Amino acid sequence: MSEQIAVVTGAGSGVGRAVALELAAGGWRLVLAGRRAEPLHGTAELAGRSGAPALVVPTDVTDPDAVDALFAAAERHFGRVDLLFNNAGTFGGAAPVEELALADWRAVVDLNLTGAFLCAQGAFRLMKRQDPQGGRIINNGSISAHVPRPQSTAYTATKHAVTGLTKSLSLDGRPYRIACGQIDIGNAATDMTAAMSVGVRQADGRIAAEPTMDVADVARTVRHMAELPLEANVQFATVLATTMPYIGRG
């Protein structure tokens, strides 16, 4: 896999960093994107211990010009892109639907949905014209692409929409050897999910702690999806803490 090039968004921490390091261990060359340069350089340093070259490109994925610059840098530095792990996202704040501020709604939609679209569009354009043609896009969905948490209107709506984006990219990519799949993650232990082990609101109104799983298990799943030949695709994968409230949630 030493000649494979992966763009990872949200690569400075959490799932993005874990996936970047797992890909680095497999010999992938990395393009690391995220809003803040410092944590991206931290990921690059860790990846370098596996001998994997990494290019750091601070990027606001909600900005079309910044996304264009990201893929231009990847092409200029490595010549092509074989994988986009479309991972950047936010929960946003919990709020009853009638109290959700329009600005808060738009912030979640801009990052989780528009950002995912812009990055997929940039990857699609490059994968379509590069030689050899093709590549793979893996979108980070969520358990909330299937079932909501209480007071998560914006987050849940965007993650359902990401599923539609995944399906459309998968269909439209067929003529160009561009595969697209989605990983739906439940309670991977990261800084973003730290509240899970303390207590989060349940469907019946209780506050209860929830089980979590090692984020490395997510990373290994993404690597498996990424390293399939383009003739095969994991369309949807759900990876979750075994005993978390999902089946039968609410």
CATH code: domain of residue 235: 3.40.50.720
Does 95 fall in a domain?
A: yes
Does 194 fall in a domain?
A: yes
Question: According to the model, what pLDDT value does residue 1 have?
Answer: 45
How many domains does one find in the chain? 1
Answer yes or no: 176 catalytic.
no
Give the separation between CA 102 and CA 83, rounded to whole angstroms. 34
Does 246 fall in a domain?
A: no
Average of per-residue pLDDT across 215-239: 97
Q: How far apart are the first and last CA of the chain?
A: 43
Does 249 fall in a domain?
A: no
Does 248 fall in a domain?
A: no
**Structural domain range at position 17:** 5-240
Q: How many helices (H) and strands (E) does the chain have?
A: 7, 9
Span 1-44, pLDDT tens digits: 458 999 999 999 999 999 999 999 999 999 999 999 999 999 99
Does 245 fall in a domain?
A: no
Which residue is catalytic, options 71, 78, 124, 155? Answer: 155
Global pTM value: 0.94
Question: According to the model, what pLDDT value does residue 206 have?
Answer: 84
Does 77 fall in a domain?
A: yes
Phi-psi region of 21 (alpha: psi -120 to 50; beta: other; left: phi over 0): alpha
Token pair, residue 178, equals: 């561009």
132: closest CA among 3, 12, 2, 242? Answer: 3
Q: What are phi and psi of 249, to 5 degrees?
A: -60, 125
Question: According to the model, what pLDDT value does residue 139 have?
Answer: 98
Q: What percent of the chain has pLDDT over 70?
A: 98
